[in-house]
Structure 1
Amino acid sequence: MKYWRIIVCSFLILMLIFPLVACSNQSQTIRVAEVTRSIFYAPQYVALEKGYFEEEGLEVELTTTWGGDKTMTTLLSDGADVALVGSETSIYVYSQEANDPVINFGQLTQTDGTFLVAREADEDFQWEEMKGQTLLGQRKGGMPQMVGEYVLKQNGVDPHQDMELIQNIDFQNIANAYASGTGDYVQLFEPTASLFEQEGKGFIVASFGEESGHVPYTAYMSKESYLEENEESIVKFTRALYKAQQWVQDHSAKETAEVIQPYFEDTELELIETVVDRYKQQGSYAENPLLDEEEWNNLKTIMDEASELPADVPYGELVNFEIANEIIEE
């Protein structure tokens, strides 16, 4: 009888312990909304494909929301836990006196990702050549447009006085409009810029990323309330991101292209490699998740030059740098 009591007691103890163990092994889901699907975000896809999030006990559900406004709306309406979007959007939200501001906690790209494409190859291109010409630019108020105007001004060209600037064409139609004959120059993202070169439709003559310097072009952010309630998970998320950033820095463009190809099934591997190499060469991929104060101030300068800075937000107000610092120092 005593023997059976021991067995029953042991069984009951195991029944109590098992759910606790099972719960401890369950991964937490983090819903991420990315502003677009882009080779520009290669470290993110490396983190997913190499299982770095899973190693941290996280399950990341990635959704592409196609546009800064839509991405931020998704985050603010609790359709996502984390957004990958330009840091300028957090300033726009802050200026509306949001009760739950959006906090930047991890940087993914640190330069602009667009290139200036011309009708003809021009190895000795000078920015002043654009005077009197027509530029097919990006949407007003977005980072590509603001960086574009900033770079032009830095090179002695007033985009609103010295040339014709077209900004009323939807993002998805800009490349087609240029291919159809609109504009002398166009501001394009990859892989479209390199694809245009391959097809002879245009030629990259300058990089806005190289000209504008470091800026928090795309960063991970969440609402302040979510960050406070889920800080441990955000630390794990940032740690996985840092592993991927280091991996990209330590491996060739070809190796990176091979890893992220599943996210770009309609793009040839050789073209992905070309784009990754170009972004690596100009230092577009952030080497770590830290968004530093100099980059934040550069962002505000660019926004101010474009008359799009609604508020002079201090660095520490919308940037959580402690998490990234903690990860880097580990």
Structure 2
Amino acid sequence: MRVGTLLLMFTVLLVVVLVASSIYLNLISKGELVNIGMAVEFNDHSAAAWVALDKGWFKEEGLNVSKLVVFRTGLELATAMAKGDIPVAWVCTSPAILIYSRGTPIKILAMTHLHGYAIVARPEISDVRELSGKVVASSGPGSPTWLLLKMVIDMYNLSDVEIKKMPPFMSLNALLTGQIDAASLPEHYVSLAESKGMRVLIRSQDIWPNMPGSALVVREDFLKGHPDIVLKLIKVTVKSTKYINKNLNESARIVAKRLNVPYDVMLRSMKNLRYTYVIDKDEIQKLINLLVKYGVIN
């Protein structure tokens, strides 16, 4: 899959969505509820979805979320989407690019946030340069946490770092029980680890201020078959994202309840993300280039 072709996926879609939205968004009729199944990640990266569900905004647009599948990692969610099990998802961008590069026809409709990843270590490790020769956990190749770890290894010339593949909840447990030295984690797991006395060594925004986070993604056949529903999903995502930015405290209470996380931890976590629905094709291209550099896509 050519890198230029991948970028075209985002550029063309952005134009189509903007034009379609301006023409049709206000023309969608309010009829009977339409059942829809979708998937989210079990973290605050999917805050736009959690808040919209809590506020009933999907139903306001005539959509009944009859099936909600929750995944622990973006890689797992993207794999399910590649199999055709999931037509709509809020998922990390890099796994979405990964499955697209391998032939899964998907479209990114809107971003949901930027950055929101960090490397967290045992408290006795005070500097990222001390990770040479250490065991660091991360989700699998192509995940944002894996990508962050690879960038940090290169940037700080770290050597002999043993990367252990673990989903975030297992990485957190392994870190707290001393089985590993550090972990590259997504929020809200970063803030959970910090609340337990672990040390944040570096955040994604420290080395990449506009690192793409998660996005609203649909399968292409769903987009072609249900353009009206897709426009409603975009509308809800935009509305929810704006609400989060204006009402962060209330949004944190909603997401904390959904994820069964203490409110203070969730509020701290969500302050470490920048919630946005805007697709920046230059940052997406940078992400694609890094995935190529590290051999995840061709």
What range is the shorter-chain TM-score in?
0.7 to 0.9
Which residue of the other structure, out of 48, 52, 56, is the alignment partner of 1:47?
52
- How far has the Cα of 1:119 moved from its partner? 2.3
Q: Which residue of 2 aligns with 1:276?
A: 270
Q: Deviations over 1:28-58 (max 9, x none)?
A: 2221112x21122222211111222222222
**1:247 to partner: Cα distance:** 0.8
Shift of 1:69: 4.7
Decide which of 23, 26, 38 is 2:43's aligned counterpart.
Answer: 38
Identity %: 20
> Is 1:103 matched with 2:91?
no
Q: Given residue 289 of structure 2, which amino acid in structure 1 is its aligned partner?
A: T
Alignment of 1:164-313 (within 5 A): 164-200=161-197, 202-252=198-248, 254-264=249-259, 266-279=260-273, 283=274, 285-286=275-276, 289-310=277-298
Return 5+ residue gaps in structure 2 as ranges: 1-28
Q: Check conservation: 1:82, 1:222, Cα contact below 8 A.
A: yes
Structure 1 counterpart of 2:72: 66
Aligned residues: 269
Cα deviation for residue 27 of structure 1 reads 1.7
Q: Assess if the C-alpha contact under 8 Å between 1:135 and 1:185 holds in 2.
A: yes
How many Å separate the matches in 2 of 1:182 and 1:273? Answer: 28
Within 2, Cα distance between the matches of 1:278 and 1:142?
Answer: 19
Matches of 1:196 and 1:97 in 2, distance apart? 36
Identify if the C-alpha distance between structure 1 residues 237 and 69 changes in structure 2 by more than 3 Å, giving closer, same or farther: same
- Hey, what does 1:118 align to over in structure 2? 121
| 1:142 maps onto 2:143 in alignment | yes
CA distance, structure 2, for counterparts of residue 278 and residue 96 of structure 1: 32
Residues 261, 180 of structure 1: CA spacing in aligned structure 2 closer, same or farther, 3 A cutoff?
closer
Tell me which moved more, 254-263 or 40-49.
Answer: 254-263
**2: distance between equivalents of 1:172 and 1:198?**
15
Contact 2:138 2:167 in 1 (8 A): no
3-state SS of 1:216 partner = coil
Change (3 A) 1:304 1:126: farther
Superposed CA RMSD: 2.6
For normalisation by structure 1, the TM-score amounts to 0.72
Q: Contact 1:147 / 1:212 at 8 angstroms: preserved in 2?
A: no
Q: Give how far 1:24 is off.
A: 6.0
Partner deviation per Cα, 1:187-212 (whole Å, 9 max, x = no partner): 22333332333333x12232124322
Letter of the aligned partner of 1:138 in structure 2?
A: S
Could you say if the C-alpha distance between residues 152 and 83 of structure 1 is closer, same or farther in structure 2, counting changes exceeding 3 Å?
Answer: same
User: Measured at CA, do residues 68 and 76 of structure 1 come closer, stay the same or move farther in structure 2, by a change above 3 Å?
Assistant: same
Partner of 1:56: 61
Closer, same or farther: CA 148–212 of 1 in aligned 2, 3 Å = farther
- Judging changes above 3 Å, is the alpha-carbon distance between structure 1 residues 197 and 170 closer, same or farther for their aligned structure 2 residues? closer
How far 1:296 moved relative to its partner?
1.3
Work out the CA distance in 1 between the residues paired with 2:254 and 2:226: 29
For residue 150 of structure 1, report the CA deviation from its aligned partner.
1.6
For residues 208 and 259 of structure 1, what CA distance do their matches in structure 2 show?
25
Give the match's secondary structure for 1:167: strand
- Give the direction of change, closer, same or farther, for the CA distance of 1:213–1:163 in structure 2 (3 Å limit): farther
Distance 1:195-1:75 versus aligned 2 partners, 3 A rule? closer
Choose which of 9, 28, 37 in structure 1 pairs with 2:34.
Answer: 28
Q: CA deviation at 1:244?
A: 0.8
Q: Which has the larger radius of gyration?
A: 1
Q: Is the 8 A contact 1:135 1:163 kept in 2?
A: no
